[in-house]
Amino acid sequence: MRLDKVDLNLFVAFDAIYKTRSLTRAAEMLHVTQPAMSNTLRRLRETFNDQLFVRTPAGMLPTPVADNVIGRARQALQLLGSSLNEHDRFEPVSTDKTFHIAMGDLAEALFLPGLLQKCGNLAPGISIRSFTIPRQKVAMELASNGADLAIEPTLLADSQLQSTSLISDDYVCVLREGHPLGNEPLTLERYLGLSHLHLSSRRRGIGHVDLALKGLSKRRHIAIRAQHYLVAPLIIARTDLALSIPASLARRLGLASQPLPFEVQPLQLHLLWHKSADNDPANLWLRQLFTDIRGT
């Protein structure tokens, strides 16, 4: 017997007849006519090459073949039913799902430690895959399920994307312990007199701080441009360089900081997902975790 030649609805009818021992009650259960149920039983008999049910004064009694088949048939129907309803629920404690999240080094530093801590308690079986992608490919990755979520500093102009704000964070200046200016009020003149470490995944271009200074017709001396935020404390600890980073990252790294002596647009980070995942329980659960940890 080839499965692709079998109408799977026959097994639903088979289970109904087995339960009720009656073609009439089985027809009522499945909301079909009795002639239709009789025709279904005929097709079942042809499929299994067995009578399956024998009419007696006590009702439609199953044959040994029917008794042997019913257990596996019901298991198969339950498995199919659970597969159809799988999208309606998500059980974090028992899932082994892998989530794919597009985010940069800064977002990893701000969110991954707290996210993994919560997942360890709530969903010990899940896996996280974090990776960077060019901003122009974010919408495509979310649409194609290459990424479940993305974290970006700017909102993307795509009607298929949904978003929520994660943080709005002021920049601060960090100096090493024992720095000559560590105990001095940080004025604009002193700030510009320092050599700076600038962090960016791009090879060139200015960031938030330099854009603000440009508006003041000022410019700082960038001694080194590096890619990764988590290397910054190692550099700062061994040099007299200054580092301007979001305040929340300075707190997470345990670094003493001072407010910048000029206005800088706060860092904005947004959580993005595709519209098709808006009501997906697993995606909803992960988004809630991000919003729960954004202030920690």
Q: Are 281 and 203 in contact (CB under 8 A)?
A: no
Question: What pTM does this model have?
Answer: 0.66
Q: Are residues 183 and 247 in the same domain?
A: yes
Provide the Cα torsion 32, 36, 40, 46; round to 10°: 180
Q: What is the spatial distance between Cα 148 and Cα 90, in angstroms, rounded to a whole number?
A: 15
Average pLDDT, the chain: 88
The pLDDT, as a whole number, for residue 2 is 56
- Give per-residue pLDDT as tens, 102-152: 999 889 988 999 999 999 889 999 999 999 988 888 988 888 888 999 999
Q: What is the spatial distance between Cα 80 and Cα 63, in angstroms, rounded to a whole number?
A: 25
Domain of 275, in residue numbers: 98-168+269-293
292 pLDDT more than 80: yes
Asked if the structure places residue 69 within a domain, the reply is: yes
Asked if the structure places residue 91 within a domain, the reply is: no
Percent of the chain with pLDDT over 90: 50
pLDDT band at 203 (very low <50, low <70, confident <90, very high): confident
Structure tokens at 250: 């300075």
The pLDDT, as a whole number, for residue 277 is 87
From 32, 61, 84, the end of a domain falls on: 84
Asked if the structure places residue 92 within a domain, the reply is: no
Domains of the chain: total: 3
The pLDDT, as a whole number, for residue 240 is 94
Q: What is the spatial distance between Cα 20 and Cα 268, in angstroms, rounded to a whole number?
A: 62
Q: Are residues 128 and 273 in the same domain?
A: yes
Q: Are residues 35 and 106 in the same domain?
A: no
87 pLDDT more than 60: no
Q: What is the spatial distance between Cα 166 and Cα 6, in angstroms, rounded to a whole number?
A: 51
Tell me the torsion sign for CA atoms 138, 143, 147, 149: positive
Residues 6+ apart with CB under 8 A from 61: 21, 53, 54
Asked if the structure places residue 90 within a domain, the reply is: no
Percent of the chain with pLDDT over 70: 95
Q: Are residues 198 and 72 in the same domain?
A: no
82 pLDDT more than 70: no
Roughly what angle, to the nearest 10 degrees, separates helices 105-122 and 281-293?
Answer: 110
Over range 30-43, report the average pLDDT.
90
Q: Are residues 109 and 233 in the same domain?
A: no
Beta-bridged to residue 226, according to DSSP, are 199
Task: Tally the C-alpha atoms within 13 A of residue 255's C-alpha that lie toward its C-beta.
Answer: 29
From 84, 108, 136, the end of a domain falls on: 84
Asked if the structure places residue 217 within a domain, the reply is: yes
Over range 188-202, report the average pLDDT.
92
